[in-house]
Chain A
């Protein structure tokens, strides 16, 4: 289901949103009573989980895997004494 790291995404996303909101307030972009201050941490959690589900970074384990070995060739037909008998007769 999750190809990435959902716990890391949720925790980092929460703090990313929280610090982004605090920074926006401290830099005078939003007011202290703005709803963004609690929406941003929630959106951060969602973003982290989306990143974990999507997992766009890193190599795809299926793409880099070596090809499956070819099946062994069928064994040659067995040579029986009846088959070789005609040579001896000549």
Chain B
């Protein structure tokens, strides 16, 4: 009996320690930038996101807007067309990696770009959530730029949040009921 209690206490202590390490660990490095690029995106409000914004700062952006963007590779412009490639990924929890939202490829003589882009996030994407780590990558003339920011959609949690919370409570009761003694045990 004593041995079993010690085993249960050890397992519980191990899980609590694991959770504490995860909860109190310092956040990952600040802004993740690779390469000489600079840029910014301005949403209505105005809300401006730049390449130097720390990752632990979550920017709340509208679900539907027209964004003004400026980007510069800060490298010498080519004399001829050169290939480029890039895209935008949203990081998913490990081990799932990332989800590519948009990708681009082609040939260009430019090393900078600016303009406006209208977007509307589909209604099924949850609003008011925790941050989404959005990473933009661009490769051109042997130079790769990687810029990451943390963003979330403006709005309040929808029905999905209530369904998730209800399911968590139900399965929590199921977990506790595993502690009911079996007959004849």
Chain B associates with chain A: yes
What residues make up the interface of A, taking CB atoms closer than 8 Å to B? 1-6, 8-9, 11-13, 15-16, 19-39, 42-44, 46-61
In the docked arrangement, what's the CA distance between A31 and B131, Å?
Answer: 4
A57 & B179 in contact (Cβ 8 Å cutoff)? yes
| A65 smallest CB distance to B (angstroms) | 11
A53 close to B7 (CB less than 8 A): yes
Known interface pairs A13-B178, A15-B167, A16-B174; A3-B185 also in contact (CB < 8 Å): yes
Partner of A28, one of B152, B182, B185: B152
Bound-state CA distance A81–B182 (Å) is 59
User: Which of B4, B130, B171 meets A31, CB within 8 Å?
Assistant: B130
Tell yes or no: B128 within 8 A of A by CB: yes
Smallest CB gap from A49: residue in B: B11
B85 CB within 8 Å of chain A: no
Asked whether any CB of chain A lies closer than 8 Å to the CB of B118, the reply is: no
Contact B4 A53 (CB under 8 A): yes
Inter-chain contact count A-B, CB under 8 Å? 164
Q: State the interface size on chain B (CB cutoff 8 A).
A: 49
B91 & A26 in contact (Cβ 8 Å cutoff): no
Contacting B90 at CB < 8 Å: which of A25, A32, A46?
A: A32
- Give the contacts of B152-166 with A (CB-CB under 8 A): 152, 157, 160-161, 164-165
In the complex where A39-B22, A53-B8, A58-B180 touch, is A32 in contact with B175 (Cβ < 8 A)? Answer: no
B residues less than 8 Å from A24 (CB atoms) = 130
Residues A12 and B7 in contact, CB atoms below 8 Å apart: no
Q: In the complex, which residues of chain B have a beta carbon less than 8 angstroms from the beta carbon of A32?
A: 90-93, 129-133
Other-chain residue from A22, A43, A53 in contact with B18 (beta carbon distance below 8 A):
A43
The listed residue (A16, A31, A51) touching B132 by CB distance below 8 A is: A31
Closest to B4 in A: A53
Assess whether B126 is in contact with A35, with CB atoms less than 8 Å apart: no
Q: How far is the CB of A57 from chain B (nearest CB, A)?
A: 5
Q: Annotate B122-136 by CB proximity to A: 1 below 8 A, 0 otherwise.
A: 000010111111000
Q: Lowest 3 A-B CB distances belong to which pairs?
A: A9-B178, A12-B174, A51-B179
- A33 closest partner in B (C-beta): B91
Chain B residues in 8 Å Cβ range of A30: 130
A8→B178 contact, CB < 8 A: yes
